[in-house]
Amino acid sequence: MTTNAEKYNKWIVVLSIVIPLVVAALFGVKINVELPVFLPPIYASVNALTSLVLIVAVWAVKNNRIALHQKLMKTAIGLSVLFLAMYVLYHMTSNSTTFKAQGFIKTIYLLILISHIILSIVVIPFVLITYVRAITNNITLHKKIAKITFPLWLYVTVSGVVVYLMISPYY
């Protein structure tokens, strides 16, 4: 008999593969539409808000505010989905911006950008597994993986904001 966690595991594998592939494929799609808003500062703000929500969620769970923690984590997932949708939309409708600084600062930018991109893919299954362990009430394993997921996810959200701040003068 298949357990709920096993059913979710199939979805975790599928989503962990499909999301990065779809995002990569959509980067090759260009839509000739002028957006009414300038998206990068908006999606960078969503990333910053996600960072804050993640930190408050950890505070909540450490202070035994489980219901608040659950709401905050669902909010963080929702914000991450919103970020991803806006990020992809922006790149489907706009040309990429080139980082024009040279030397040491460019090296720092590229290190942050590359680690951000790689970890944004790596964190997907971690977030999904952590969430599934929570909703299937496997709290012991949830806590174990959350200790890995939290710093990864926080790094991705914070580094996304840093990348935006570093490239924003070149928009």
Instruction: Average the pLDDT over each of 92-101, 110-119, 132-141, 156-165 and give the range with the smallest value.
Output: 92-101
Q: Where are the domains of the chain?
A: 4-20+37-170
Contact at 8 Å (CB) between 83 and 46? yes
Half-sphere CA count of 10, side-chain side, radius 13 A: 5
* Identity of the residue numbered 154: L
Instruction: Find all residues with CB under 8 Å of 4, minimum gap 6, and list them.
Output: 136
Going by the DSSP 8-state scheme, the letter that residue 3 receives in this structure is -
The pTM (predicted TM-score) of the whole model is: 0.90
Residue 2's SS3 state is: coil
Crossing angle of helices 139-167 and 104-135, in 10° steps, is 150
Residue 29's SS3 state is: coil
User: 10-52: per-residue pLDDT in tens?
Assistant: 899 999 999 999 988 887 888 887 665 688 999 999 999 999 9
What is the structure's pLDDT at 91? 85
Total residues belonging to the chain: 171
What is the structure's pLDDT at 86? 92
For the cut 50, the answer to whether the pLDDT of residue 1 exceeds it is no
Percent above pLDDT 90 for the chain = 75
User: 116-129: per-residue pLDDT in tens?
Assistant: 999 999 999 999 99
Instruction: Average the pLDDT over each of 29-43, 44-58, 64-78, 88-102 and give the range with the smallest value.
Output: 29-43
What is the structure's pLDDT at 35? 66
* CA angle, 54 then 89 then 26, to 5°: 105
What is the structure's pLDDT at 109? 97
Going by the DSSP 8-state scheme, the letter that residue 94 receives in this structure is S
According to CATH, the topology of domain 4-20+37-170 is: Four Helix Bundle (Hemerythrin (Met), subunit A) (1.20.120)
For tokens 């701040």, what's the residue? Answer: 165
In the structure encoding, which two tokens stand for residue 60, read together? 């909540």
In the structure encoding, which two tokens stand for residue 76, read together? 């963080």
Rounded to an integer, what distance in angstroms lies between the CA atom of residue 29 and that of residue 102? 30
